[in-house]
Amino acid sequence: MVYAHASVMVQEVMELLKPESHKKYIDGTLGGGGHTEQILALSSPDGMVLGLDWDDEAIAAAQERLRRFGDRLVTRRAAFTEVKEILKEIGWDKVDGIFLDLGLSSHHIESGERGFSFQVETRLDMRMDRRQSLDAYQVVNTFPVSELERILREYGEEPRARRVALSIDAQRRRKRVETTRDLADLVARVAGRKRGRMHPATRTFQALRIAVNRELENLTGFLEDAYELLHSKGRVVIISFHSLEDRLVKKAFRKWNQSCICPPKTILCRCGWSQKARLLTSRPLFPSQGEIWLNPRARSAKLRAAERV
């Protein structure tokens, strides 16, 4: 299957990242290589990109697409949480820009065997890194009801989390929930019919994907000190696709922008904190209506950026 993925907000990303020659960049979510292609083109003739992705199919597709750039592209099959170790391995100190696209690729949605979408019936999976053992099938069929409820409520913001979790438990006691269709039909019976363009199982599938891949934990850990990876004036640009991710990015960037993080009303600063970065986007940027028309999956994208001081 061809690795198909439409890169989102490419022009806006490039305007904020400002790729230049003689500089180094990180694309922590390489995907099909669309954003990295532009970074390499704009940083010609000698700008370099370290591209990371934990999906072997994404790495292979990007390498093929970007082969004309030769050794200006360095790839590793790894999550962006591993970037510090990889920078040491390849002998890079700091970089001039970091980019993350936190969205699920079109390839993952359309690839039947990956189990990300209820639109294709296949075994529950949802692993972005197929080397890991935990998958959605195990979460649905073995996790306690209380943990299922927490995952659905926190990661899917599902108002019927308790009812859905109890229904999953009742079903798996009779017969294991095997496929994406099994789960989607079960949730639809509990949560009701489709409202607008959102299928009633959408929140459940989002929650399970986030849990399986530890997406929020990984993002939180990365944002703790990602500014340390940047040279002065280096920039980080992040596109998120749901409120949980955007909230984490917003919170981290605002912290980086502060000169003191002591509690309010503290008379004497004792935190030892200093400003790490300045905001380039006081509010998130959104894709244009033209882009949404061409690529409806871009409609929920939010872009934030910051610059190292």
pTM > 0.75 = yes
**Beta strands 277-279; 302-308: pairing state:** antiparallel
pLDDT for 120: 80
Please tell me the predicted confidence (pLDDT) of residue 109.
58
DSSP E strand stretches across 54-113? 73-77, 95-101
Helix (H, G, I), strand (E, B) or coil at 64: helix
Distance CA 264, CA 278 (A): 21
pLDDT per residue as tens digits for the range 176-223: 999 999 999 999 998 776 566 678 999 999 999 999 999 999 999 999
**233 Cβ contact list (under 8 Å, min separation 6):** 96, 307, 308
Asked whether 309 and 232 are in contact (CB, 8 A), the reply is yes
| pLDDT score of 1 | 43
DSSP state of 195: B
What would the mean pLDDT of 51-80 be, rounded to a whole number? 95
The average confidence (pLDDT) of the chain is 92
Residue 231 DSSP SS3: strand
Q: How many helices (H) and strands (E) does the chain have?
A: 13, 7
Does 117 have pLDDT greater than 50?
yes
Map residue 27 onto helix, strand or coil. Answer: strand
- Position 299 confidence tier, pLDDT thresholds 50, 70, 90: very high
Architecture of domain 122-214: Orthogonal Bundle (1.10)
81 pLDDT exceeds 50?
yes
Q: Where residue 113 falls among pLDDT bands split at 50, 70, 90?
A: low
**The CATH number of domain 10-107+216-308 is 3.40.47.10:** no
Q: Is the separation of the CB atoms in 178 and 123 below 8 Å? A: yes
Task: Enumerate the domain spans of the chain.
Answer: 10-107+216-308, 122-214
For residue 114, report the phi and psi dihedrals to the nearest 5 degrees: -85, -20
Assess whether pLDDT exceeds 90 at residue 265.
Answer: no
Burial class (CB in 10 A: 0-12, 13-18, 19+), 154: middle
Which pLDDT does position 196 carry in this prediction? 61
